[in-house]
Amino acid sequence: MYKWFVASYASVITVLSLSFGLALHNVLLIGLCILLILAHFTKEPSLYVSLSKLALLITFHWISQTDWCFSLYILILTADLHDNKSKSTIWTLVGLNMILFPVISKAVVHSFTTFSTLWGLVLYVTNFAVFILISVTLISLIKQAEKLAGERKKLSTHDALTGLPNYESCHRQLKDLLHKESHVMFILIDCTDLKAMNKSQGFQAGNLVLKQVAELLQIKFSEAFFISRYGGDEFAVALTYTGREQMLQYIEQQLGSELPKLTGIQITYGSAVLTDKGGTKDDLILLAENNLFQMKREMWLKREEHMLRSEKLRIVGELASGMAHEIRNPLTTIKGFLQISKSNGYNIENWYPLIMDEISRMSELTAEFLQFSKPHAVHFRVQSFQVCIQRVISLTLSEMSRFGHEVVYVPPQEPMNIWMDQDKMIQLLINLIKNAYESMEDNKKVIIRLYPRDYHVVLEIEDQGSGIPPEQLDQIFNPFYTTKDSGTGLGLSICHKIVQDHDGTIEIESTLNKGTRFIMTFPMASKEESNPAYSSRQKDAV
C-alpha cells in the first residue's frame, strides 16, 4: 500500500510538470518516473539500492523543475530507512537528503525559493528539521525493535529464572562444541532435595536456591564452555579439559562437598566424556544421565540403610524400655518383701508364695520375650488347616466350657492346605481364642470361619466381647501394650510375628460392646505341593 502511494505521487508530479510545461525533457521525465517506481518496488534493501534511488530522485527533481518533490523525498527516505536497519546507512541517507534537496531546489529554474530570501531560509530550516526528526524517530524505533528482538531471542534460548541457556540451547551448543573440541566433559547436576523444599517452604524458597546454584556454578566453573539450566531442578555444564583425573577430582570436590555446604541441599551429579572412538552429542548426554542415575540409586540405598538402622535402634529401644519396665515391677515387689522379712528376722514364710509368683512372672515374661525377639528356624510342611483348627478346638474346649462359652466352627467344603509350622500355628490360634473368651462374659460364642479366596486361605476368629476402642486398634500389636491387669503385652505381638513368618497378613475389626474379629490370610498350597510325596519335604525359613 505504501509503495503504491509513492508510485502514485511520483506519477502526479510527472503529470503536473508536463501539464504546466515545467519539464526540461518530457520523455526523459516519464522514463525517470518509471525507473523511480520500479526501483522503489525492489525487494533487496541495501545502501547501494537506496543511493541509486536517491540519484534517480535527484535527476527526476531536476528534470521536473518543481519543488513538489519534497514530499517524495520524505516518502522514499522513510521507506529506505525502514528497510535498512544499519545506523550508519540511516545517517548517510539522511545527510545526503539534507544536502542534495536544497541544492537541487536552489538550482531549479522555476523554484519560488532562494537562499537570499527569508522564505528560502525558513524552508531550508524546515527541511533540515524534518529530516532530523525522521532520522531520530527511526533510530529510536530501530533501537526498540532491536531490544525487543534481543529479549525475544533471549527468552527463546535462555531460562527466565536463572538467565542461563535453556534445554534446547544446551543441546545446540554442545553439538557445536563437539565439532570443535575432542576433550569435552559433560556434567548433569540434580538438586535432589529441591522438590521436598518446594513442598515444605514453597516455590519461592526453591527458586532462590536455583538462582544461588546457578550463580555458584558460574563462579566454580568460570572456564566452562557453557552452563545451562537443563530443566526443572537440573543443570548442565560443558567444559574442555587437559587432565581428566584432575578435572574429576575438582568436580567431586565442588559438587560433592562445596555446593551442598553453600546451598544447604543435597547435590547429585553424573559426568561423562567421549571415548577415543568418538561419539555423538546424544551418546555423551546418555552416558551422563546413566551416571547420574547410578549416583542417585547409591544415595537412595544409603538413605534406606540409614533409615532401616534407625528404625531397628528405635524398636530395640522400645523393647528394652518395655522389658525393663515389666521386669522392674516384680523386682520392686520382691525387694519390698525382702525388706519386710529383714525386720522379721528374715522369716519369709508368709510371703514365700507371693515372691515365687513374682519370680515365675519374670521367668514367663523373659521366656515370651526371647520367643518374640530371638531368630529361630521354623520348619514348614504342607498340612491341613482344618486338622490344625480341630486340634486347637479340642485343646481349648474344657476351658471354654468352664466359662460357659461355645465354639462355633464353620468349615470349608474342600481341603485347605498351606505351608505351616504346626506348633506355631497352634500357638497362634490358642492365643487368639484365649483372648476371645477372656474378653466375653459368660455364655457367649466364639465363631471360627475358614474359607478360600483368590488362591489364599482366610481364617476369621470372631468373639462377642466388649470390643476394642478405636484409638487402641493401632497399638494392640505393639510389644508390651496390654489392657489386661495380668498380661505381658507380648501375646498379640507374637501372633503377628507368626503370621508374618507364614507369609500371611492379619487384620482386626472391632465394635464396642459387640465384639472383635481377627482376619488372617495365608497363601494356599498348590495341588502339586499338597501331594504327600511333595509335602514330606521341608521348606526351612528363618
- The band of 111, judged by pLDDT with boundaries at 50, 70 and 90, is very low
Bridge partners (DSSP) of residue 384 are 417
Range 283-290 average pLDDT: 90
- Looking at residue 415, what is its pLDDT? 84
- Distance (Å, rounded) from C-alpha 146 to C-alpha 135? 16
How many angstroms separate the Cα of 46 from the Cα of each of 84, 89, 100, 181, 253? Answer: 6, 9, 20, 38, 55
Range 72-95 average pLDDT: 67
- Distance (Å, rounded) from C-alpha 16 to C-alpha 23? 9
Q: Among 110-124, 186-200, 225-239, 304-318, name the one with the lowest average pLDDT.
A: 110-124
- The band of 81, judged by pLDDT with boundaries at 50, 70 and 90, is low
| Cell, residue 319 | 523393647
> Where does 221-343 have alpha helices with state H?
244-253, 259-263, 281-343
Asked whether residue 342 carries a pLDDT value surpassing 90, the answer given is no
Local structure of 319: helix, strand or coil:
helix
Q: Is the dihedral of CA 349, 354, 357, 361 positive or negative?
A: negative
Residue % of the chain over a pLDDT of 70: 72
- Quick one: which of 106, 251, 96, 281 has its CA closest to 180? 281
DSSP assignment of 112-157 equals S--TTSHHHHHHHHHHHHHHHHHHHHHHHHHHHHHHHHHHHHHHHH
Q: Quick check: 446 and 406 in contact, CB under 8 A?
A: yes
Asked whether residue 374 carries a pLDDT value surpassing 60, the answer given is no
Q: Roughly how many angstroms between the first and final C-alpha of the chain, as a whole number?
A: 92
Asked whether residue 274 carries a pLDDT value surpassing 50, the answer given is yes
* pLDDT tens, position by position, 414-438: 888 898 888 788 878 888 888 888 8
* pLDDT tens, position by position, 163-182: 899 888 899 899 888 888 87
Local structure of 159: helix, strand or coil:
coil
Which helix or strand (DSSP H or E) is residue 235 part of? strand 234-240
- Distance (Å, rounded) from C-alpha 494 to C-alpha 490? 6
Asked whether residue 271 carries a pLDDT value surpassing 50, the answer given is yes
Range 27-39 average pLDDT: 84
Phi, psi angle pair for 445, to nearest 5°: -120, 145
How many angstroms separate the Cα of 337 from the Cα of each of 107, 254, 302, 331, 363? Answer: 138, 68, 52, 10, 18
Show the CA angle centred on residue 476, arms to residues 473 and 482, nearest 5°: 125
Q: Quick check: 194 and 209 in contact, CB under 8 A?
A: yes
- The band of 469, judged by pLDDT with boundaries at 50, 70 and 90, is confident
- Distance (Å, rounded) from C-alpha 459 to C-alpha 533? 27
- Distance (Å, rounded) from C-alpha 311 to C-alpha 301? 15
DSSP assignment of 77-94 equals HHHHHHH---HHHHHHHH
Under DSSP, the state recorded for 542 is -
Q: Which residues contact 56 (CB under 8 A, 6 or more apart)?
A: 32, 35, 36, 39
Q: Among 244-248, 259-263, 435-439, name the one with the lowest average pLDDT.
A: 435-439
Q: Is the dihedral of CA 127, 131, 134, 136 positive or negative?
A: negative
> Strand 505-511 and strand 515-523: pairing?
antiparallel
Query: What is the average pLDDT value for the chain, to the nearest integer?
Result: 78
Residue 331 or residue 27, greater confidence: 27
Largest CA distance in the chain: 156
Q: Quick check: 385 and 364 in contact, CB under 8 A?
A: no
Q: Quick check: 179 and 281 in contact, CB under 8 A?
A: no
- Distance (Å, rounded) from C-alpha 429 to C-alpha 491? 11
Asked whether residue 458 carries a pLDDT value surpassing 90, the answer given is yes
- Quick one: which of 41, 65, 53 has its CA closest to 97? 53
Whole-model pTM: value is: 0.44
Q: Quick check: 464 and 445 in contact, CB under 8 A?
A: yes
Range 17-23 average pLDDT: 83
Asked whether residue 124 carries a pLDDT value surpassing 80, the answer given is no
Range 79-95 average pLDDT: 65
- Quick one: which of 127, 276, 536, 347 has its CA closest to 135? 127
- Distance (Å, rounded) from C-alpha 110 to C-alpha 9? 20
Asked whether residue 283 carries a pLDDT value surpassing 80, the answer given is yes
- The band of 186, judged by pLDDT with boundaries at 50, 70 and 90, is very high
Asked whether residue 350 carries a pLDDT value surpassing 90, the answer given is no
Residue 2 or residue 542, greater confidence: 2
Range 130-144 average pLDDT: 64
- Distance (Å, rounded) from C-alpha 122 to C-alpha 96? 19
- The band of 116, judged by pLDDT with boundaries at 50, 70 and 90, is very low
Which helix or strand (DSSP H or E) is residue 448 part of? strand 445-453
Asked whether residue 154 carries a pLDDT value surpassing 70, the answer given is no
> Where does 374-472 have alpha helices with state H?
385-403, 422-438
Cell 546413566 sits on residue? 290
* pLDDT tens, position by position, 474-513: 777 776 666 665 555 667 877 888 888 888 999 989 888 8
Q: Is the dihedral of CA 478, 479, 481, 485 positive or negative?
A: positive
**Domains recognised in the chain with CATH numbers:** 2-154 (no CATH), 167-273 (3.30.70.270), 378-541 (3.30.565.10)
Range 103-115 average pLDDT: 55
- Distance (Å, rounded) from C-alpha 222 to C-alpha 440? 78
Residue 370 or residue 53, greater confidence: 53
- Looking at residue 313, what is its pLDDT? 67
Q: Quick check: 186 and 289 in contact, CB under 8 A?
A: no
- Looking at residue 108, what is its pLDDT? 63
Q: Quick check: 236 and 187 in contact, CB under 8 A?
A: yes
Q: Which amino acid is at 267?
A: I
